[in-house]
Structure 1
Amino acid sequence: MTRWLPFPLLTAALLGVWLILNESVSPGTVILGCALSVGAVRVLTALDPPEGRFRRPLVALTLALVVLGDIVRSNMAVARIILNPAAGNRTPGFVRIPLDLRAPYGLATLACIITATPGTIWVEYESAGNSVLLHILDLVDDQVWIDTIKDRYEKRLMEVFE
């Protein structure tokens, strides 16, 4: 079964999304959705994705809640900066953060978290030094950002993916 259908949960999820988007469970829609989802997963296996292990779902849930809270808080801070530019001197800047995280899916998740948070952008990943360069809209202290990324996100991602 694994050779014919290597990622059954992904196949089922794709089929579910197909049915939701089409707002129909007619036989034709289900058959076409099955064919497309199986085909998409077969194409994915041709790309030879790296092995990944997802452990500790409670830590992942905690991380999701932390990220959600950070995104809301960051949205409000960016809104304040945009709506009241004369409130203070804002200094955008770059900060390089050394990482201990090496799992590819963990790094991809960290990139999504940082990019989804308003006011921060993932600029570069240096694999030789295992560090990431971030652009921060309001950079006050480099060490605060290094501690935030390492303590709030990286530790939890390492628990989940390594």
Structure 2
Amino acid sequence: MTRSRWLPSPSLTVFLTLLWLLLNNTLSFGHLLLGVFLGWVISMLCREFLISVPDVRSPLKLIKFFLRVLGDIVTANLQVARLVLGPTHKLRPAFVEVPMEIEDEFVLAVLTSVLSLTPGTVSAVLSPDHKTLLIHALDAPEPEKLAAEVKMRYEAPLLEIFQCSTP
């Protein structure tokens, strides 16, 4: 996806315009023009920080993935509560290296966010070549199993959902 020099992010401009109108609680022509102007200026100022979002191949799979993540967050909250409220000497925290197939920056950000949102795991470091993700797990008796689960539950579906490059 290429960006226009004069309109680097049309969706951001529209979003900021709508946000301006909502904050001012008006649909007046003057506020509409001011919102468009502010949206355009802000998107111009932020264009160096914007990353491109790959196209979604399968919206249905995206919805299914979203529901899976929500379910995993609820389940993980219950598991972490049980672990934290139980005997702490039984915890087996570990840093786990997960080899990455995803190369797209946006999709990597989605994956690391999902891992950090799920209680019990936190994305710690992504290697400079983006080939290995280091995650910290509160309880990981079998680190290899956790790495395989991350790849199966999160990475594989993201590769199916988004049109992004793989090695």
CA distance in 1, matches of 2:135, 2:49: 29
Show structure 1 runs of 4+ deviating over 4 A.
48-52
Structure 2 residues without counterparts, runs of 5 or longer: none
Q: Specify whether residues 37 and 101 from structure 1 end up closer, same or farther in structure 2 by C-alpha distance, changes over 3 A only.
A: same
8 Å contact 1:93–1:135 — kept in the other structure?
yes
* TM-score (norm. length: structure 2): 0.82
**Shift in Å at residue 153 of structure 1?**
0.9
2:107 is equivalent to residue 106 of structure 1: yes
8 Å contact 1:101–1:158 — kept in the other structure?
yes
Corresponding residue for residue 130 of structure 1: 131
CA distance in 1, matches of 2:127, 2:108: 12
2:35 is equivalent to residue 18 of structure 1: no
CA distance in 1, matches of 2:52, 2:24: 34
Q: Specify whether residues 161 and 149 from structure 1 end up closer, same or farther in structure 2 by C-alpha distance, changes over 3 A only.
A: farther
Q: Across the two proteins, how many residue pairs are aligned to each other?
A: 158
AA partner of residue 157 (structure 2): R
Q: Out of 127-136 and 25-34, give the one that drifted further.
A: 25-34
| 1:120-151 deviation per Cα after TM superposition (whole angstroms, max 9, x unaligned) | 11111113370000000111211221121111
Q: Specify whether residues 17 and 88 from structure 1 end up closer, same or farther in structure 2 by C-alpha distance, changes over 3 A only.
A: farther
Q: Specify whether residues 118 and 48 from structure 1 end up closer, same or farther in structure 2 by C-alpha distance, changes over 3 A only.
A: closer
2:66 is equivalent to residue 89 of structure 1: no
8 Å contact 2:126–2:132 — kept in the other structure?
yes
Root-mean-square deviation (Å): 2.2
8 Å contact 1:67–1:113 — kept in the other structure?
yes
2:153 is equivalent to residue 152 of structure 1: yes
Structure 1 residues without counterparts, runs of 5 or longer: none
